[in-house]
Amino acid sequence: MRTDIDNRVLHFANIILKEKSTVRDVARIVGYSKSTVHKDLTERLKKIDVEKYERVRNLLEYNKNIRHIRGGMSTKHKYQIS
């Protein structure tokens, strides 16, 4: 794999782990599509750094498990302001 892609993947992984953020947040920060960020974190990272991949995978799984709560809070916030 090319080193520029490897560096990009590691950069994405470091951001998501440091900020404890979502794929959408990372995509917004770095200016890539969420599809690219997701593919880099779920497929390419595994080939580069397995330990970091496991930590990212656990965070992605956590985000997936609580996304219904985030959606509910977003809706609640939307109607409280209006």
When comparing pLDDT for 13 and 76, which is higher?
13
Q: 28-71: per-residue pLDDT in tens?
A: 999 999 999 999 999 999 999 999 999 999 999 999 998 888 88
pLDDT higher than 90, residue 14: yes
pTM (whole model) above 0.85: no
Comparison of pLDDT for 82 and 45, the residue scoring more: 45
Indicate if the pLDDT at residue 18 is higher than 90: yes
Upper half-sphere CA count for residue 37 (Cβ side, 13 Å): 22
* Residues 39, 60 contacting (CB under 8 angstroms): no
